[in-house]
């Protein structure tokens, strides 16, 4: 929820976050999602199909990108969420890769806000048109 009496305006940054992804995270996500495509755990398979190496699951990246917005407004206020997958997220064999998130108000109507989410790895945007429609409460208007 928004802080008491806070009003949203187009351009406001409403949430930020960062997530470190390593290969163990990919294994856990594969188990939870059932997505055992070898491009998510085998470098040889990933490179054989022209990828730079093992990649994070697109749906994992998408889910993490919306998390700061969910934490800010609450899951019950999320009306819709969509993204375009524009750049893969390679995950190194050792260490991790950092996914940085910034969410800004892109549009306001009487009853909802469109929140535009920017997700970057190493300064490069990895999701396009990442937009969340959030129901507004009285305190947001």
- What tens digit of pLDDT does each residue of 56-105 get? 999 999 999 999 999 999 999 999 999 999 999 999 999 999 999 999 99
What does each C-alpha distance from 8 to 5, 12, 16, 110, 114 come to in angstroms? 10, 7, 16, 12, 11
The whole-number pLDDT of residue 2 equals 41
Q: What is the pTM of this model?
A: 0.90
Per domain, the residue ranges of the chain are 13-20+56-140
Q: Round the average pLDDT of the chain to a whole number and report it.
A: 94
- Largest separation between any pair of C-alpha atoms in the chain: 55
CATH class of 13-20+56-140: alpha beta
The whole-number pLDDT of residue 62 equals 98
Average pLDDT value for residue range 18-38: 97
Could you tell me what percent of the chain has a pLDDT over 70? 94
């Amino acid at each position: 929820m928004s802080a008491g009496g806070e009003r949203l305006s187009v351009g406001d940054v409403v949430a930020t976050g960062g997530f470190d992804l390593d290969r163990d995270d990919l294994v856990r996500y594969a188990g939870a999602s059932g997505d055992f495509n070898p491009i998510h755990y085998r470098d040889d398979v990933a490179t054989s199909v022209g990828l730079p190496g093992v990649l994070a699951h697109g749906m994992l990246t998408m889910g993490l990108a919306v998390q700061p917005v969910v934490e800010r407004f609450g899951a019950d206020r999320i009306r819709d969420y969509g993204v375009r997958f524009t750049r893969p997220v390679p995950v190194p064999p050792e260490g991790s890769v950092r996914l940085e998130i910034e969410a800004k108000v892109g549009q306001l109507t009487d009853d909802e806000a469109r929140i535009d989410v920017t997700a970057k790895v190493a300064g490069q945007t990895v999701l396009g048109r990442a937009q969340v429609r959030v129901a507004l409460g009285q305190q947001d208007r």
